[in-house]
Chains A and B, each alone.
Chain A
Amino acid sequence: MDWKLMLILGMAAATYLTRVTPFFIRIREYRFLKYVPASVFSSLVFPDIVRSTDNLIAGIVVFAVAWKNRDLMLAFLAGISALYILRSVF
């Protein structure tokens, strides 16, 4: 088999495995599980906002916007416009 096809099938299997396995194991410890969103999203956000001063400032702007309004679209637009302006100005 072509190595490209083998790579794609291998990657697809590995990725699907990480997604599907938890759907067949019932974890009753909701005490831990309820912290998944706060922990996972914090882990995804922090490496990205400490990457540069622009990202950090844009991140703080988004935090302020998100605090006032929980709308995802608004956060999204605030994020890209803040970063775009910071990068074009400085």
Chain B
Amino acid sequence: MALKKAIPVMVSYFFISMAFGVVASKFLGAYSVLMSAMVFAGAAQFIAIRMIQEGHGVLAIVLTVLLVNSRHLLMCSYMFSLYPGLNRLKRLVMAFGITDETFALGISERKRDHRFQIKLNFLSLSSWVSGTAAGLIFGEIVPESFYQVMPFGLTAMFISILVSNIKGNSYIAAAVVAGLISAVAGTGMAVVIASLAGMLAGSVVERWTGS
């Protein structure tokens, strides 16, 4: 059940992390696999490799990763609101595997089952780690064009989640404001600023119109 749900994410994670493995192994060798297993954050990992390439130090990279991943604060706050009764250990376990994609999969499910979410997280992680190892071992055997369309598959999933989360005018306001700001401001920390502006816009419209 969880496996069936996780398949699109597992397939794209495998190929995206394979591309990561190819690039990262030039700088980190077998440590690339350890990075995928311990960090499990695509955008942050690609940025880190770029920064190593440009000669930045460890501290600068870690701080950048903190900013890039700050959007998790919003997603995980929402996730915790779905499972308010979770015990401490389960919170610690669930939190580790929350990515944009596992969050998307989880909230699109109607029934709320924390075990289902944790399974989704770890299935996705296993694919992310094995893809990295495959990239490290096999290198560039998959054609470049294949890697290039895979991230868009994830964007397509996000579009679907976006559409199903539009439940009225206030939600349209939230999405439009967040979308416009991020389209201008870009990725990373901008996602958080755009999202907060969107959330504010949604609440303002809700107060005006009562919907």
**Does A37 lie within 8 Å of B44, measured CB to CB?**
no
| Residues of chain A with a CB closer than 8 A to B203's CB | 31-32, 35
**Does A39 lie within 8 Å of B198, measured CB to CB?**
yes
**The one of B41, B154, B202 that contacts A39, using a Cβ cutoff of 8 Å:** B202
Q: How far is the CA of A74 from the CA of B35 in the complex (A)?
A: 31
**Does A83 lie within 8 Å of B72, measured CB to CB?**
no
What is the distance, in angstroms, from A66's C-beta to the closest C-beta of chain B?
4
| Residues of chain A with a CB closer than 8 A to B41's CB | 15
Q: How far is the CA of A26 from the CA of B85 in the complex (A)?
A: 11
Given known contacts A5-B31, A15-B39, A44 and B69 CB-to-CB distance under 8 angstroms:
no
| Residues of chain A with a CB closer than 8 A to B84's CB | 26
User: Interface segment, B124-132, B133-141, B178-186?
Assistant: B178-186
B157 interfacial by beta-carbon distance below 8 Å: yes
B40 interfacial by beta-carbon distance below 8 Å: yes
**Does B72 lie within 8 Å of A19, measured CB to CB?**
yes
What is the distance, in angstroms, from A1's C-beta to the closest C-beta of chain B?
10
**Does B163 lie within 8 Å of A70, measured CB to CB?**
yes
Q: Which of A4, A44, A59 has the most CB of B within 10 A?
A: A44
Q: Does more than half of chain B's interface fall in helix, strand or loop, or is it mixed? A: helix
**Does A58 lie within 8 Å of B152, measured CB to CB?**
yes
What is the distance, in angstroms, from B99's C-beta to the closest C-beta of chain A?
9
- CB-based A-B contact count at 8 angstroms: 269
Q: How far is the CA of A14 from the CA of B63 in the complex (A)?
A: 8
**Does B107 lie within 8 Å of A37, measured CB to CB?**
yes
**Does B81 lie within 8 Å of A27, measured CB to CB?**
yes
**Does A4 lie within 8 Å of B31, measured CB to CB?**
yes
What is the distance, in angstroms, from B93's C-beta to the closest C-beta of chain A?
10
Task: Report how many residues on chain A are interfacial, defined by Cβ distance under 8 Å.
Answer: 68
Of all chain B residues, the one with the shortest Cβ separation from A5 is B31
| Residues of chain B with a CB closer than 8 A to A47's CB | 182-183, 186-187
A45 interfacial by beta-carbon distance below 8 Å: yes
**The one of A23, A44, A75 that contacts B76, using a Cβ cutoff of 8 Å:** A23
**Does B156 lie within 8 Å of A78, measured CB to CB?**
yes
| Residues of chain A with a CB closer than 8 A to B198's CB | 35, 38-39, 42-43
Chain B contact residues, CB within 8 Å of chain A: 5, 7-8, 12, 28-29, 31, 34-35, 38-41, 44-45, 48, 52, 58-59, 61-63, 65-66, 69-81, 84, 86, 91-92, 94-96, 98, 100, 104-105, 107-108, 145, 148-166, 170-171, 174-183, 186-187, 190-191, 194-200, 202-203, 206
Closest 5 CB pairs of A and B: A79-B156, A39-B198, A75-B160, A35-B202, A10-B62
